[in-house]
Amino acid sequence: MISVSKSVLRRKVAELLVVRASGHASDSEREHPLWELTNSQLERLLGEGVGGVILFGGSTSELRYRCQRLQGWAARPLLLCADAEEGLGQRFAGGTWLVPPLSLGKIFQKDSQAALKMAEHYGSCIGEQANRCGLNWILAPVCDVNSNPRNPVINLRAWGEDPITVSELVCAFHKGLSSKGVLSCAKHFPGHGDTEVDSHIDLPILGHNMSRLEELELVPFQSIIAAGVSSIMTGHLLINNIDPINPATLSTKIISNLLRGSLSFQGLVVTDALIMSAITKKFGPGEAAVMAFAAGADLIMMPESPDKAIDAIVDSLLKESIPLSRLEESLSRRRLALEGIKEVKCADSKEFFPPESLNFESISEKQFSKELINKSLEFRNPGKIKSTVSGINLLWIDSIFSSPLINSSAPAIYLPELAGFRSLICHPSGVSPWQDDPNSPLALDNIGHGPVLLQLFIRGRPFSGTAYRKEPWISAVKQLQRRELLDGLIVYGCPYLWFELLEALDESISAAYSPGQMPEAQSHAISSLFDSDCAKATLSLLMFKEFSD
């Protein structure tokens, strides 16, 4: 017989949920109103005991007040998290956006000690800024080994392409992050590095057997467990050889047997967002939450419907199809994790930031970010692009609407304009710049004639469905070279695309690569490729712009 009342049970189960909210203060500011709860929904759910919130969007200064407000709606301490793998600036304006982790993996190949120091600094920088905003849990590091360059969703989010590099760097990152009293989260168990399907769209299947997994995918997870990581996120992946029926997120064999049993992980297990299509296509909103919990997950991330998730889990407990002890175990793991969180003293909230600082980002944080950008930039034939009167600055932007990095004031747009290059901005939802001829794919009649500066902002992003293969960039570069129209090429993001283009590129062409897409990286890449007169104009503008440094 169950002795607890249903309402007590409901409140306890609610504690295990992590729901999604906008970092903005008002409902009307939500960037994704279909996914982000309204303030009245949040107030009700937190009042009913929901124990975690994941935040997206807004600025770091809004976020600080947002976190205080959410905490005020809850009776108990909340887990407040963000998917800020590359720094607070990746999700919240004003924070530092660091270069993607894979850049540190490249540095590790040449100088492992330097890379390890940087990875630790990377983690402590994120931890420090998370504290300043009121977040206590960062959903990083990615522990996937990006062994497959065609991976559309991990790609440069991984710390390396081999298990040793990833293991060492993620442990250094974890050390830095947890030194600030912020929880980390290793993801996506048991390893999302060798997939060509994006789990935001469909369920990726991994055909590897246990011995392969032990040699590769599991290695970084074992290391970071040994280093005391507080939480691990499961991936929406079907590992045929372990559980041919259920994806890792919903699999007892993977969570309870492999992760808790073989790998002896004692911390929090959290699902990847249950609202992702890999799950919602096959499982109902209550069903998915119950299955994840039954399989051994402690925290239910972004359930399709928070109320249905709570009700369904409560029902299973009342029917005793899941033992009450599972609930107590998860609650006690959550409690333990919360105890590890540093008590953050907020400064007087009448001031946005500590009174001595004019900006959220400190000078040393900005310096660190610049250092990483500079260390990870690559060049060929710098200083050669000249001013022109009829140049075309052909930009390809993978995600035109979600790129806070690109607007009319972005260096990638205004600096070439100063040198006579008119911007032509292409994106996957626009009129195609392509014609059918595979040897001359770029429809120059539609694009115009003149020397072309080609700038590609391509990361192999989630939701895009492909890494970067859909667009015939290699043929396009060859076509421009044949017609002697290519003045320069810059790739921001995917290193695999850069390597392939480099092979197709004439040795005389100016080119640059930056793993990061931030304005700082844009200025640096462009001013390096342009000749000294253009670069001087550029520099004086930049000095004006960054006068406060």
Active site residues per annotation: 272
Instruction: Using the minimum distance from each CB to a copy of itself, give the nearer residue, 445 or 507.
Output: 445
**Element (DSSP H or E) covering residue 540:** helix 532-545
Residue 401 sits in the site that holds a copy of itself (CB under 8 A): yes
Instruction: Using the minimum distance from each CB to a copy of itself, give the nearer residue, 43 or 214.
Output: 43
Give every CB contact of residue 278 below 8 A, 6+ residues apart in sequence. Answer: 199, 200, 201, 202, 203, 204, 236, 247
Residue 408 sits in the site that holds a copy of itself (CB under 8 A): yes
Residue 3 sits in the site that holds a copy of itself (CB under 8 A): no
Question: Applying CB under 8 A, which of residues 7, 390, 402, 532 lies at the interface with a copy of itself?
Answer: 402
Residue 453 sits in the site that holds a copy of itself (CB under 8 A): no
Least distance from a copy of itself to the Cβ atom of residue 230, Å: 29
Least distance from a copy of itself to the Cβ atom of residue 348, Å: 9
Which stretch in 118-126, 129-137, 306-314, 421-429 sits in contact with a copy of itself by CB under 8 A? 421-429
Question: Applying CB under 8 A, which of residues 360, 457, 513, 530 lies at the interface with a copy of itself?
Answer: 360
Which stretch in 29-37, 112-120, 337-345, 379-387 sits in contact with a copy of itself by CB under 8 A? 29-37
Total binding residues for a copy of itself by CB under 8 A? 63
Which stretch in 38-46, 182-190, 207-215, 316-324 sits in contact with a copy of itself by CB under 8 A? 38-46
Question: Applying CB under 8 A, which of residues 4, 77, 83, 93 lies at the interface with a copy of itself?
Answer: 93
Residue 33 sits in the site that holds a copy of itself (CB under 8 A): yes
Give every CB contact of residue 488 below 8 A, 6+ residues apart in sequence. Answer: 384, 385, 453, 454, 509, 510, 511, 512, 529
**Can you list the alpha helix ranges (DSSP code H) found in 505-531?**
519-529
Cα–Cα dist 414/392, whole Å: 13
Beta bridge partners, 458, equal 493
Residue 137 sits in the site that holds a copy of itself (CB under 8 A): no
> Which residue from 329, 254, 519, 303 is spatially nearest to 412, judged by alpha carbons?
519
Least distance from a copy of itself to the Cβ atom of residue 211, Å: 42
Positive/negative CA dihedral, 454, 458, 463, 467: positive
Task: Give SS3 for 396.
Answer: strand
**Element (DSSP H or E) covering residue 456:** strand 452-458
Least distance from a copy of itself to the Cβ atom of residue 404, Å: 9
Cα–Cα dist 202/290, whole Å: 21
Residue 39 sits in the site that holds a copy of itself (CB under 8 A): yes
Least distance from a copy of itself to the Cβ atom of residue 251, Å: 31
DSSP letters of 419-449?
Answer: TTEEEEEE-TTS--SB-S-TTS-B-HHHH-S
CB atoms closer than 10 angstroms to residue 543: 10
Pairing of strands 378-380, 510-514: antiparallel
Cα–Cα dist 490/286, whole Å: 47
Task: Give SS3 for 504.
Answer: helix
Residue 227 sits in the site that holds a copy of itself (CB under 8 A): no
CB atoms closer than 10 angstroms to residue 344: 16
Residue 443 sits in the site that holds a copy of itself (CB under 8 A): yes
Residue 400 sits in the site that holds a copy of itself (CB under 8 A): yes
Instruction: Using the minimum distance from each CB to a copy of itself, give the nearer residue, 3 or 409.
Output: 409
Positive/negative CA dihedral, 202, 207, 213, 217: negative
Residue 29 sits in the site that holds a copy of itself (CB under 8 A): yes
Residue 356 sits in the site that holds a copy of itself (CB under 8 A): no
Which stretch in 190-198, 285-293, 330-338, 540-548 sits in contact with a copy of itself by CB under 8 A? 540-548
Which stretch in 9-17, 239-247, 372-380, 541-549 sits in contact with a copy of itself by CB under 8 A? 541-549
Angle between helices 112-133 and 102-110 (to 10 degrees): 150
DSSP letters of 353-385?
Answer: S-TT-SSSS-HHHHHHHHHHHHHH-EEESTT-B
Residue 447 sits in the site that holds a copy of itself (CB under 8 A): yes
Which stretch in 151-159, 215-223, 269-277, 353-361 sits in contact with a copy of itself by CB under 8 A? 353-361
CA 185 from centre of chain: 13
Task: Give SS3 for 217.
Answer: coil
Residue 25 sits in the site that holds a copy of itself (CB under 8 A): yes
Angle between helices 102-110 and 363-376 (to 10 degrees): 70
Least distance from a copy of itself to the Cβ atom of residue 502, Å: 26
x/- string (CB under 8 A) for a copy of itself, residues 42-81? -x--------------xxxxx--x--xx------------
Question: Residue 423: phi, psi to the nearest 5?
Answer: -80, 135
Residue 495 sits in the site that holds a copy of itself (CB under 8 A): no
Residue 406 sits in the site that holds a copy of itself (CB under 8 A): yes
Instruction: Using the minimum distance from each CB to a copy of itself, give the nearer residue, 23 or 100.
Output: 23
Least distance from a copy of itself to the Cβ atom of residue 264, Å: 42
Determine contact, residues 191/218, Cβ cutoff 8 Å: yes
Residue 32 sits in the site that holds a copy of itself (CB under 8 A): yes
Residue 280 sits in the site that holds a copy of itself (CB under 8 A): no
**Element (DSSP H or E) covering residue 56:** strand 52-56
Interface residues toward a copy of itself, by CB under 8 A: 24-29, 31-34, 38-41, 43, 58-62, 65, 68-69, 89, 93-94, 349-353, 358-361, 366, 400-402, 406-409, 414, 423-427, 429-433, 443, 446-447, 541, 544-548
